[in-house]
Amino acid sequence: MRAFPNTDERINKPDGVILLALAAALFCLPSASRSQEQQQPGVFSDKQLRQAVELRDLALSSADAFRHVASLTMEVGPRLAGTSGDKAAVAWALATMHELGLQNVRAEDVTVSHWERGTIEVGITMPYPQPLAATALGGSIGTPTDGIEAPIIRVADLDELSATPDNEVAGKIVFFDRRMQASKDGDDYTETVKARRDGPAKAAAKGAIAVIIRSVGTSSARLPHTGRTRYDDAIRQIPAAAISNPDADMLAMQLAGGEAVTVKMNMSARYLEDERSANVIGEIRGASRPDEIVILAAHLDSWDLGTGAIDDAAGIGIVLETAAQIIRSGRKPARTIRILLAADEEFGLSGAKAYADRHMAELHSHVVGMEADFGDGKVWRISTLFPDDRLEIATAIHAPLESLGIELGDNKTGSGADISEFKKLGMPVISLGQDGTDYFDYHHTASDTLDKVNPENLRQVVAAFVTATWLAASGDVDFGFREPEEETEE
Amino acid sequence: MRAFPNTDERINKPDGVILLALAAALFCLPSASRSQEQQQPGVFSDKQLRQAVELRDLALSSADAFRHVASLTMEVGPRLAGTSGDKAAVAWALATMHELGLQNVRAEDVTVSHWERGTIEVGITMPYPQPLAATALGGSIGTPTDGIEAPIIRVADLDELSATPDNEVAGKIVFFDRRMQASKDGDDYTETVKARRDGPAKAAAKGAIAVIIRSVGTSSARLPHTGRTRYDDAIRQIPAAAISNPDADMLAMQLAGGEAVTVKMNMSARYLEDERSANVIGEIRGASRPDEIVILAAHLDSWDLGTGAIDDAAGIGIVLETAAQIIRSGRKPARTIRILLAADEEFGLSGAKAYADRHMAELHSHVVGMEADFGDGKVWRISTLFPDDRLEIATAIHAPLESLGIELGDNKTGSGADISEFKKLGMPVISLGQDGTDYFDYHHTASDTLDKVNPENLRQVVAAFVTATWLAASGDVDFGFREPEEETEE
């Protein structure tokens, strides 16, 4: 009896459907997960669980998110906010949603910045001249037309910069040289990206004339990574670029020699006029609770260097195919499942902000939010951000995910950026954490291309998304709503 | 007794040195190799074997070939024949040989072609416009200033091109789309490189106006590989470029859609005036047979995209450190050990040809040749090209290499390109085959940089080279000379 806890009372119920569901579960699931799937009788109905498991198993064998990824990356390709690719992506998303049978398909206008990477040449000029593979950080200004040439000093990170006297920084180029470590959850990104985001402003405040960072990435390919930097309105803007890991090694090695090292940079990055883009939205309308929304987000824009396959065509494929699997099943959820393909996640989050502004009146109708923006890795952990008294829901959602190799994480997850505005205001969040061990080998580089996406992995991810989505949307489980978060300075 | 064959008579010799050598061998070597090291009493003396083993073990713990690789790649960097980097490499080599204590250090003039890569832009213009990461093949002409735009057709290889009617090729760009497979001995390179070498001439003969090849490499990084192509004097020259594997995937996918695909190419590659370069040579003069030469070669030039770390700074480091280890030991070889750092292996083999021309009178003084030009991988196999009646020498050289994890291969090896002229004329060759499983991830791309070189691997390689070199040079073992090879059209 210990092997099948909590099952007796249901087996004794005069309900053939439940017996069928149990039988199906016993036949279809590895033994390790059998018991858990039945452990939370109070959270989801047996019917919901049975349907979720059916959808899950169908997705494992039939989901074809890869097709959407291939289509978006081949037919549209790079789609940086404001570019023609960005507009083509919006058209692609509208057409694809219609084709998949989503309802209320629409584009909601978003105004986006339009920054142009331009050309770049960076090289060591002393003591040993060497070209460096470099790219502008997103939002950087360019250099004067003739470029700039100056001594360069190395600091590991913002802390070391802060500890360096201003007179050692003034008039120089600052080289931030922290190497990112790969891991399953990619958590070293958070620490390493600080110099990319804030380094130029902090260095300029000390009198630096430009910044070069070691790419925030884990690849040994000689391809620099890009990503947004942000200036401080009160501080002079200075040009900022990233160099690849091998180039950072070269620069660090020349600096380690003890001789003065000078670097020349010439960049033509600049801003053009703002452009119009759009959040693209489609829904599966809820049958009985249509005004309650389970939102699944991914972002439609990408950086310009690659074709945005892992970032975030993979996420687009995952959330679109999650909807497609549910539509094809013929099942109608109680709640509305809303797919948000957000504009401009990479450059300014203007899509996320525009969605929040436009839908603020619906804030409390957002029952729970999920986002796919971490590539093609299999889901290995489900984490949540629920009110503290609703943790049994997390356990109940986890049960049918266990056979997919997914463990139950904590209740402290962040969210993807596209749903972060409502998350800050208290919307519950489910994070299906994907294995990102190799994500930062390709992320924000020219190598972010379709060949990095594993179709088999995506099937598992869709299976996880469809399971969680169905459990959240098919009944009336009350996720509650969290307290709004306090504003903290990042 | 079966466990130690052929040892009895030596143990019974009244020679304390031999007993010492045996004791040392028994203590120092894994049991698997003990017996083999003593198996060929007729080939090398016990003293030679003992010295070889001592040099081998010292190299394993002390050899620092990596230092030479770091110095060459950092202080000189890219060194394509004819460029200022090429001249700097010659100066570096002369200075380094002097520093390491080699004798008869000199630069022997070589006239080299000077080709300039220039700029390149390649992109699909229909049906789905996409930029393609491309680079010119070495020796390619450029396009007209305005570029060329034409339909593209895909063929797998030269055979498929040959089977395609001329009227389907005329006026088009030909896309050679064979994907190279990785392996320990890199043998798929031989097959895949045919289209790079001969594709432009063969396609032009059928009326094609340009060629694009899938990079002859195994990496998924979006970095195209370069390498020499050769035109046919009787056929019009057409521009030729390589695109990276992900870009070839993109192009193939668009072609697979069935719609006409057009590509635009704009390249400014061109030849400049011939330049002077040099083979750099240094020696450890033989004590008793100075006119007999054991030659160790590597090439000093590199392609221009990376810093030529695996190709062939690694080889330069290996052969220089092999000499340095022998010099530091204070032992004097009987024969002369000659280190040849050849010019222009990549672009025209003019260094190898100039060496052969200049030293033709010495041809039969070249007892045996070795070359290091396959990166930083550990040696896993020794193969030879000896006269058929000298195979016992291969077995005898292999014995002390076995504990390094090296197996005995066949007697059909080719040689590196730098000693190929004398090899064709009959010089015996020893090939220490390095593990090249990842070699073609970096070879001829911008990613050929110092971080790809493993210092520990290099120690094992130097240990193998020093062992084989000492056995060949320290006594009078007669390698014989092979019959000259018949000319065959490649």
Q: What is the ipTM, given to two decimal places?
A: 0.90
- Of the CA atoms within 13 Å of residue A389, those in its CB half-sphere come to 5
Where do the H-state alpha helices sit in A337-390? 350-358
The answer to whether the CB atoms of B223 and A221 lie below 8 A apart is: yes
pLDDT digit string (tens) for A352-386? Answer: 999 999 999 999 999 999 999 999 999 999 999 99
Shortest alpha-carbon distance between residue B158 and chain A (Å) = 25
User: CATH for A118-268, among 1.10.490.10, 2.60.15.10, 3.10.580.10, 3.50.30.30?
Assistant: 3.50.30.30
**Chain A contacts of B131, Cβ < 8 Å?**
78
- Is the pLDDT at A330 greater than 70? The verdict is yes
Beta-bridge partner residues of B266:
B121
Q: Tell me what pLDDT residue A165 has.
A: 98
**Chain B contacts of A77, Cβ < 8 Å?**
128-130
Specify the 3-state DSSP secondary structure of A17. helix
Where do the H-state alpha helices sit in B31-132? 31-37, 46-62, 65-75, 84-100
Dist CA B458 CA B64 (whole Å): 8
CB B363 within 8 A of CB B293: no
Which residue spans of chain B are classified as CATH 3.50.30.30?
Answer: 117-272
**Chain A contacts of B70, Cβ < 8 Å?**
253
Q: Tell me what pLDDT residue A486 has.
A: 86
pLDDT digit string (tens) for B434-481? Answer: 999 999 999 999 999 999 999 999 999 999 999 999 999 999 999 999
Element (H, E) at B469: helix B455-473
Which residue spans of chain A are classified as CATH 3.40.630.10?
Answer: 40-113+274-473
Which residue spans of chain A are classified as CATH 3.50.30.30?
Answer: 118-268
Shortest alpha-carbon distance between residue B378 and chain A (Å) = 20
Shortest alpha-carbon distance between residue B222 and chain A (Å) = 5
Dist CA A262 CA B67 (whole Å): 23
Q: Tell me what pLDDT residue B17 has.
A: 38
CB A320 within 8 A of CB A312: no
Dihedral sign of CA atoms A386, A388, A389, A391 in order = positive
Provide φ and ψ at B295, rounded to 5°.
-105, 130
CB B344 within 8 A of CB B112: yes
Q: Which fold has domain A40-113+274-473?
A: Aminopeptidase (3.40.630)
pLDDT digit string (tens) for B273-295? Answer: 999 999 999 999 999 999 999 99
Provide φ and ψ at B56, rounded to 5°.
-55, -50
- Is the pLDDT at A249 greater than 90? The verdict is yes
CB A211 within 8 A of CB A174: yes
Nearest to B222 among A130, A250, A447 (CB): A447
CATH number of B21-110+276-473: 3.40.630.10
Dist CA A283 CA A305 (whole Å): 31
Q: Which residue carries 């190299």 as its tokens?
A: B59
Which residue spans of chain B are classified as CATH 3.40.630.10?
Answer: 21-110+276-473
Where do the H-state alpha helices sit in A29-100? 31-37, 46-62, 65-75, 84-100
pLDDT digit string (tens) for A420-456? Answer: 999 999 999 999 999 999 999 999 999 999 999 999 9
Dist CA B125 CA A378 (whole Å): 35
The answer to whether the CB atoms of A221 and B447 lie below 8 A apart is: yes
Q: Tell me what pLDDT residue B35 has.
A: 43
Dist CA B142 CA B121 (whole Å): 11
Dist CA A11 CA B308 (whole Å): 71
**Chain B contacts of A128, Cβ < 8 Å?**
74-77
Beta strand A103-116 with A270-284 is: antiparallel
A487 pLDDT tier (thresholds 50, 70, 90): confident
Helices and strands counted in chain A (H then E):
16, 16
Q: Tell me what pLDDT residue A453 has.
A: 98
Alpha-carbon distance values, B70 to A253, B310, B446 (Å): 9, 11, 16
Q: Which of A311, A294, A277 is nearest to A365 (CA)?
A: A294
Mean pLDDT, residues A280-306: 98
- Is the pLDDT at A33 greater than 60? The verdict is no
Nearest to B450 among A249, A450, A451 (CB): A249
Q: Tell me what pLDDT residue B488 has.
A: 60
Give the nearest chain A residue to B441 (CA atoms). Answer: A221
**Chain A contacts of B447, Cβ < 8 Å?**
220-222, 246
Q: pTM for this one?
A: 0.90
**CATH class label, B117-272:** alpha beta
- Is the pLDDT at A327 greater than 70? The verdict is yes
Dist CA B55 CA A218 (whole Å): 38
The answer to whether the CB atoms of A451 and B75 lie below 8 A apart is: no
The answer to whether the CB atoms of B222 and A70 lie below 8 A apart is: no
A1 pLDDT tier (thresholds 50, 70, 90): very low
**Chain B contacts of A130, Cβ < 8 Å?**
74, 77, 307
The answer to whether the CB atoms of A307 and B75 lie below 8 A apart is: no
- Low-confidence stretches of chain B (pLDDT < 50) are 1-40, 489-490
The answer to whether the CB atoms of B221 and A447 lie below 8 A apart is: yes
Q: Tell me what pLDDT residue B32 has.
A: 41
Dist CA A147 CA A134 (whole Å): 14
CB B307 within 8 A of CB B450: yes
- Is the pLDDT at A94 greater than 70? The verdict is yes
pLDDT digit string (tens) for A470-482? Answer: 999 999 999 999 9
Specify the 3-state DSSP secondary structure of A201. helix
Provide, rounded to the nearest whole percent, the portion of chain A with pLDDT above 70: 91
Q: Tell me what pLDDT residue A122 has.
A: 98
Shortest alpha-carbon distance between residue B119 and chain A (Å) = 13
Rg of the Cα atoms in chain B = 24
Q: Tell me what pLDDT residue B37 has.
A: 45
Residues of B with CB under 8 A from a CB of A: 70, 74-78, 128-131, 133, 219-223, 245-247, 249-250, 253-254, 306-307, 445-447, 449-452
